[in-house]
Amino acid sequence: MAETASQVENVLVARDGDCAVVTLNRPDKLNPLDRVTIAALLDVVTALEADRGLRSVVITGAGRAFSAGGDLDGYLSLYRDPQAFRVFLDTFYRLLAAIERSDKIYIAAINGPCVAGGLELLLSCDVVIAAETATIGDGHLNFGQLPGAGGSQRLPRAIGALRAKHLMLTGRMIDAAEAERIGLVAEVVPASALLDRTLAFARDLGGKSPAGLRGAKYLVNQGLNGTLESGLQLEIAYVHNYATTEPDATEGLVAFKEKRKPAYGCA
């Protein structure tokens, strides 16, 4: 993979074909999501969104952790400056919203502890693959804190309200197997195979219709914002337009009939 650094070395970006690999890069501090890192991540995500050649983005952590969450010492300073703290929260919100609204598929590769803000970053991604050695938890209440980057809203939508409240109230860490069982993780793999498996998943996406990938992500995320009935109507309208106007929809069927690989359009 070809690797480049962002404007701050807290975040590294590498390219593997039509996939970008974004690595949180403060392993000595377990990759905290401080305001400098959050701002750098937002810059990276914004730049990646403009790259029409990308289909997917992998987010992982350097060293032994994905992210242990926020910088507690930094929070002490932020709490004394309400305006700066609000800017931090707004920037974190914009980062995670940008990931959710992106045309790219975001894959979290959880290589170790993923706590608090790390969990909130995980929850904004589309797919989560974890190493067997990974541990995941909310952890905010262990230090008298509350999730401020969507944890209290995205977690119950991901695993249900009762399980979400249990994780939030206890602050306990769960292993990768339990995270997979409750639907927080899609796949669990040996730690040594995590990046290879994640990149293989991303390469598989590269063979699918960019418009189809974009539509599937949009329908799920947008549908969750309303009722089941509104989501069903959204699906009907979107699929009708997709099938009757998007060349990839016809190309997929023709290729199947002709027993060949589809030649899908660009992203």
Name the average pLDDT for the chain. 92
CB of 41 within 8 A of CB of 53?
no
Q: What is the pTM of this model?
A: 0.91
Q: Which H, E and C letters describe 31-99, residue by residue?
A: CCCCHHHHHHHHHHHHHHHCCCCCCEEEEEECCCCCECCCCHHHHHHHHCCHHHHHHHHHHHHHHHHHH
Q: How far is CA 41 from CA 35, 46, 75, 245, in A?
A: 10, 8, 18, 35
Where would I find the H helices in the chain?
35-49, 72-79, 82-101, 117-124, 151-159, 161-170, 176-181, 194-205, 210-223, 228-245, 247-257
The predicted-structure confidence for 97-149, as pLDDT tens digits, reads as follows: 999 999 999 999 999 999 999 999 999 999 999 999 999 999 999 999 999 99
Q: What is the pLDDT of residue 4?
A: 53
CB of 147 within 8 A of CB of 161?
no
Q: Given pLDDT bands bounded at 50, 70 and 90, which one contains residue 5?
A: very low
Q: What is the pLDDT of residue 41?
A: 96
The predicted-structure confidence for 231-243, as pLDDT tens digits, reads as follows: 999 999 999 999 9
Between residues 183 and 6, the one the model is more confident about: 183
Between residues 71 and 222, the one the model is more confident about: 222
Q: What is the pLDDT of residue 7?
A: 45
Q: What is the pLDDT of residue 267?
A: 56
Q: What percent of the chain has pLDDT over 90?
A: 83
Between residues 9 and 50, the one the model is more confident about: 50
Instruction: For the domain made up of 2-205, give the CATH fold.
Output: 2-enoyl-CoA Hydratase; Chain A, domain 1 (3.90.226)
The predicted-structure confidence for 170-213, as pLDDT tens digits, reads as follows: 999 999 999 999 999 999 999 999 999 999 999 999 889 999 99
Average pLDDT of span 27-44: 94
CA distance 84 to 74: 11
Q: What is the pLDDT of residue 8?
A: 60
What's the DSSP call for residue 30? T
CA distance 168 to 190: 27
Q: What is the pLDDT of residue 6?
A: 47
